[in-house]
């Protein structure tokens, strides 16, 4: 009996040892399976770009060059997210008593990417280089700003005096164009001849390390940058259509791209990517012809606005890629919230306003460009909405050339259109009395618009804009249907601050890197 008991104990002990061994083996295997995947980090970001003709800002006309120049060059001033002008190469400024001149003090310690010191002579040389281009066909995208300048004078090594041609076109926002080094050419007038083979040297965060014909440009951190020198680099690869780059995210041929297309989300259905949408400078408007007696009545214009469901139009006609705004100025311009419409969708209020205006029956013609599918669809939606409040719309959908002709000749009641506005947001072409497309006139607004582009302080500008906004909200010369949004599409392995702005789509790029899992195949091939 004792022997039998001992045998049973030994058997149980053996089984326990076996189970323990199995459990340990199983635990080892489980631990291996649950281990965090190995991560690799790369600081070389690949971005697509449709081919640009030159990096020379004096003659550059390509939009792609504009965005790339933001990385390489700096201006005296730059814009913040609310479109306020803040010093970049400029330390401070003051307007002179003549009302057309501004004295700009420059920052100390700035160096060019070749290590030479930045000075006032560089600013003078740059402005004269831009102004020396007299052939309109060769003027750069910065010409509308620089051409407002009459002359520039060096006061000393760190101060320049810039004189504008007109006190009504002397806003500091016009001084955001790229500054080039004096060493670019022997004479300022010669810069316009430097197209192919132009050597881009700036004071920005990045510098051109190398180029490969019409294939790519490599940007690396500028070691002389006065700020945190970026640790990452960019391979800018030329591609015929940037939308195609999204399909190459999975093989890491590209890591991000910039898309304006309203239907951009459809490209991402099977792609591991994230879209960062942001307000563009493209506004879609409904313009009222003030020459038409019915539309000269403010209550009728307000009734039309109340009869339109902008949210529905954004979702159903613009793929959801738009935002509501109260006026045609940029959303939250100068930091003033503007996402609440003045006349929100309210059919009952629309009917009441028409009754107050003494309107019982109203038939209007809506002019729209037949070549723009989004606007044609929006026009049909507007027609259906206004029908419910007693306004009959006749859609006049015509080809682009005829549309422009009718708009210029005032042959419309309402028109549906869009504008891409300069970042200085000088809206006088759309609002100044008698010179705008809708026949609108308001002398108070004219004076405020002129003041916005005059030598005033940041505080005065904000106060002046509040006055403009009040007039626009009361008069409703245009109904802001929406502001379009653009999108930065980034692969899921791109990490960092993606904070694009319409005038600086690579904003925050100094923080970017690629962090991705290393597969077995990659480990084997490494």
pLDDT band at 19 (very low <50, low <70, confident <90, very high): very low
Mode of pairing for the β-strands spanning 233-238 and 414-420: unpaired
**pLDDT (tens digit per residue) in 162-180:** 999 999 999 999 999 999 9
**Percent of the chain clearing pLDDT 90 (strictly above):** 81
Least confident of 9-13, 75-79, 373-377: 9-13
pLDDT of residue 15: 39
pLDDT band at 520 (very low <50, low <70, confident <90, very high): low
DSSP characters over 347-385:
HHHHHHHHHHTT-S-EEEEEEEETT-HHHHHHHHHHHHH
pLDDT of residue 201: 97
pLDDT band at 381 (very low <50, low <70, confident <90, very high): very high
- Its pTM stands at 0.89
Q: Is 82 in contact with 177 (CB distance < 8 Å)?
A: no
Residues 453 and 430: their CA atoms lie apart, in Å, by 15
pLDDT of residue 141: 95
Residues 224 and 55: their CA atoms lie apart, in Å, by 20
pLDDT score of 466 more than 90: yes
For residue 54, which of 232, 189, 191, 219 has the smallest C-alpha distance? Answer: 191
Q: Tokens for 80, please give them.
A: 């913040």
Q: What is the mean pLDDT of residues 118-129?
A: 98
pLDDT of residue 519: 67
**pLDDT (tens digit per residue) in 293-322:** 999 999 999 999 999 999 999 999 999 999
pLDDT of residue 35: 63
Domains of the chain with CATH codes: 46-255+493-517 (3.40.190.10), 277-485 (3.10.105.10)
Q: What is the mean pLDDT of residues 381-387?
A: 98
Least confident of 30-34, 90-94, 355-359: 30-34
Neighbouring-strand partners of residue 362: 391
pLDDT score of 22 more than 60: no
pLDDT score of 524 more than 60: no
Residues 406 and 370: their CA atoms lie apart, in Å, by 13
Residues 159 and 364: their CA atoms lie apart, in Å, by 58
Q: Is 122 in contact with 179 (CB distance < 8 Å)?
A: yes
User: How high does pLDDT run on average in the chain?
Assistant: 91
Q: What is the mean pLDDT of residues 127-139?
A: 94
Least confident of 92-101, 237-246, 480-489: 237-246
Query: 319, exposed or middle or buried, with CB in 10 Å at 0-12, 13-18, 19+?
Result: middle
Q: Is 433 in contact with 441 (CB distance < 8 Å)?
A: yes
DSSP characters over 422-440:
-TT---HHHHSTTTSTT--
pLDDT score of 16 more than 70: no
Q: Tokens for 244, please give them.
A: 């195609």
The sign of the dihedral angle between the CA atoms of 310, 311, 317, 321 is: positive
pLDDT score of 102 more than 60: yes
Residues 363 and 223: their CA atoms lie apart, in Å, by 66
Count of CB atoms within 10 A of residue 35's CB?
8
**pLDDT (tens digit per residue) in 279-291:** 999 999 999 999 9
For residue 327, which of 278, 378, 283, 374 has the smallest C-alpha distance? Answer: 283
Q: What is the mean pLDDT of residues 466-473?
A: 98
């Amino acid at each position: 009996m004792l022997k039998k008991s001992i045998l049973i104990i030994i058997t149980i002990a053996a089984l326990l040892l076996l189970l323990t061994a199995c459990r340990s083996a199983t635990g080892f295997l489980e631990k291996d399976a649950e281990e965090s995947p190995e991560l690799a980090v790369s600081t070389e970001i690949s971005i697509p770009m449709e081919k640009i003709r030159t990096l020379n800002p004096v003659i550059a006309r390509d939009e792609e060059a504009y965005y790339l120049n933001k990385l390489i060059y700096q201006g005296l001033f730059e814009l913040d997210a609310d479109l306020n002008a803040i010093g970049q190469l400029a330390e401070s400024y003051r307007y002179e008593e003549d009302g057309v001149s501004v004295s700009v003090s420059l920052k100390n310690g700035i160096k060019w990417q070749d290590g030479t010191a930045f000075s006032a002579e560089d600013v003078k040389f740059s402005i004269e280089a831009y102004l020396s281009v007299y052939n309109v066909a060769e003027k750069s995208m910065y010409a509308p700003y620089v051409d407002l300048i009459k002359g520039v004078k060096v006061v000393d090594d760190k101060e320049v005096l810039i004189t504008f041609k007109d006190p009504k076109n002397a806003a500091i926002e016009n001084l955001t164009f790229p500054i080039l080094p004096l060493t670019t050419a022997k004479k300022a007038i010669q810069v316009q001849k430097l197209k192919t083979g132009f050597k881009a040297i700036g004071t920005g965060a990045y510098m051109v390390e190398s180029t490969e014909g019409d294939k790519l440009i490599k940007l690396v951190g500028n070691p002389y940058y006065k700020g945190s020198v970026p640790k990452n680099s960019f391979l800018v690869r030329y591609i015929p259509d940037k939308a195609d780059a999204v399909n190459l995210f999975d093989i890491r041929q590209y890591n991000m791209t910039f898309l304006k297309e309203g239907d951009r989300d459809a490209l991402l259905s099977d792609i591991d990517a994230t879209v960062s949408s942001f307000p563009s400078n493209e506004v879609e408007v409904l313009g009222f012809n003030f020459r038409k007696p019915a539309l000269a009545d403010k209550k009728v214009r307000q009734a039309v606005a109340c009869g339109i469901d902008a949210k529905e139009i954004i979702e159903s006609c613009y793929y959801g890629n738009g935002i509501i705004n109260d006026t045609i100025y940029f959303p939250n311009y100068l930091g003033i919230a503007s996402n609440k419409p003045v006349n929100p969708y309210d059919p009952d209020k629309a009917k009441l306003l028409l009754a107050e205006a003494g309107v019982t029956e109203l038939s209007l013609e809506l002019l729209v460009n037949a070549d723009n599918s989004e606007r044609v669809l929006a026009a049909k939606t507007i027609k259906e909405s206004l029908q419910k409040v007693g306004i009959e719309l006749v859609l006049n959908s015509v080809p682009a050339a005829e549309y422009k002709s009718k708009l210029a000749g005032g042959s419309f009641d309402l028109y549906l259109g869009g504008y891409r506005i300069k970042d200085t947001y000088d809206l006088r072409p759309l609002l100044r009395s008698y010179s705008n497309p809708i026949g609108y006139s308001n002398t108070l607004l004219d004076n405020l618009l002129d003041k916005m582009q005059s030598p005033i302080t940041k505080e005065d500008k904000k106060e002046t804009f509040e006055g403009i906004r009040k007039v626009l909200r009361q008069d409703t010369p245009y109904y802001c249907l929406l502001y379009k949004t653009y999108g930065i599409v980034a692969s899921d392995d791109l990490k960092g601050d993606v904070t694009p702005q319409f005038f600086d789509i690579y904003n925050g790029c100094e923080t970017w890197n690629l962090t991705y899992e290393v597969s077995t195949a990659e480990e084997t091939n490494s």
